[in-house]
Amino acid sequence: MAVIEALDAGIPGCELAAVSMRDTASAAERLAHLSAPVPVVEVAALEPLADIVVECAPAAIFAAIAEPVLRAGKTVVALSAGAILSNEHLVAIARENGGQIIVPTGALLGLDAVTAAAEGEIHAVRMVTRKPPAGLVGAPYLVENGIAIEGAREPIRVFRGTPREAAKGFPANLNVAVALSLAGIGPDRTTLEIWADPSVERNCHEIEVEADSARFSMRIENIPSENPKTGRITALSVIACLRKLGAPMRVGT
């Protein structure tokens, strides 16, 4: 809702054209406070109405949202970065039709530094994520491997691998790791650890990068939104991204 409300309040160069929600029955009530009413439509009806579509849906329907928009040569602002790895054909569709997929910084920081370093040679990228157990409960990887974290009293390392593997096992949790890998050395060379940590109240990400141009580390602690699987800053990142599209001056790569 934060992105919808920001657009309703006014972002130069952007205008809210339509909204798609899973629960269309309650959508009218949720949007009743907007100054300018907009239609609530099915996902398939978004492309004819908008030049830019902000995707913040379950990863399973990412392609259904993005493909018609990209075929029309338009732009998708994608929060489900992990879904890109299982739908890599969408990048080719965007290239062929003049469309674009924009992955906003989201809950991470320092992507500008990583993309800059990638113009040279990056030797290694390591990321460690710690989340309150409630933010990881129900993840397919935990269910499939019988990993119980409810009631955990000590930190539990629940995953060690790559962002590509994490995108499948934690589709609602680790889009930040995929974004980091796409900015840097890819989803198969980036290493990732995920911890369910009852001692933290925020979603914590630590990143270390070693490159021929610099060595740097980053840490961010994100306050969870009403959805414990994501942070409040994610929506703010989308708003900042939209402001940049029509800004007379842009700060950052």
- Per domain, the residue ranges of the chain are 2-102, 111-229
pLDDT, tens digit, 9 for 90 and up, residues 72-113: 999 999 999 999 999 999 999 999 999 999 999 887 878 999
pLDDT, tens digit, 9 for 90 and up, residues 131-153: 999 989 999 999 999 999 998 99
Note the pTM of the prediction, 2 decimals.
Answer: 0.89
Distance CA 239, CA 4 (A): 9
Give the pLDDT confidence score for residue 144 in this predicted structure.
Answer: 96
Which CATH code fits 111-229?
Answer: 3.30.360.10
Q: Which of 195, 205, 181, 186 is nearest to 109 (CA)?
A: 205
Which residues lie across from 111 on neighbouring strands? none
Which CATH code fits 2-102?
Answer: 3.40.50.720
Q: Pick out the chain residues at pLDDT < 50.
A: none
- Clarify whether 33 is annotated catalytic: no
Distance CA 250, CA 214 (A): 24
33, 89, 123, 205: the catalytic one is 205
